[in-house]
Amino acid sequence: MDPANPRRTASSADSRSMSMGSVQRWVMSALAVTTIAHFSAGLVLAAIFLDTTRPGAQIGLDVIAAIVGVLGVAAGFAIHQKNPLTPWLLLGLIPAAVGLYFIR
């Protein structure tokens, strides 16, 4: 053992460690996507419990929920500086699809 050249420990030399900027991006994208998903789900709930004498309003709220959901998934990709036009955008349509099931 050479005191001038100490051996590196496994925790300090771990190649899987993330930079501070990377961790901040993941936290920010998780917060953005979940917040927008909750907003989309709230619009779906509003559409479900809306007065049924105006079915067009229910469909309109559900369409808005679909747009908001897709934009939420795109925001997650944009935060990571990836192309937001991806098949993963279909995940944003799930709350609206559930809403359409309960509206009909």
Cα(60)–Cα(39) distance, rounded to whole angstroms? Answer: 15
Q: What are the percentages of helix, strand and coil residues in the chain, rounded to 5?
A: 70, 0, 30
Give a yes or no: residue 12 inside a domain: no
In a domain, 80, yes or no: yes
Q: Give the pTM.
A: 0.80
Asked whether residue 91 is domain-assigned, the answer is: yes
Is residue 7, in this structure, part of any structural domain at all?
no
Q: Is residue 77 part of a domain?
A: yes
Domain-embedded: residue 10: no
Domain that holds residue 48: 34-103
- CA-to-CA distance for 3 and 78, rounded, in angstroms? 48
Q: Is residue 17 part of a domain?
A: no
Please list, in sequence order, all residues whose beta carbon lies within 8 angstroms of the beta carbon of residue 66, skipping any fewer than 6 positions away: 40, 92, 93, 95, 96
Reported as a single tens digit per residue, the pLDDT across 38-57 is 999 999 999 999 988 887 99
- Which helix (DSSP H) or strand (DSSP E) does residue 65 occupy? helix 55-79
Q: Tell me: pLDDT of 13 over 60.
A: no
CB 93 within 8 A of CB 70: yes
**pLDDT tens sequence across 75-98:** 999 999 999 999 999 999 999 999
The residue-averaged pLDDT of 8-25 equals: 76
Alpha carbon distance 87, 85 (integer Å): 7
Number of independent structural domains in the chain = 1
- Distance, CA of 54 to CA of 49 (rounded, Å): 11
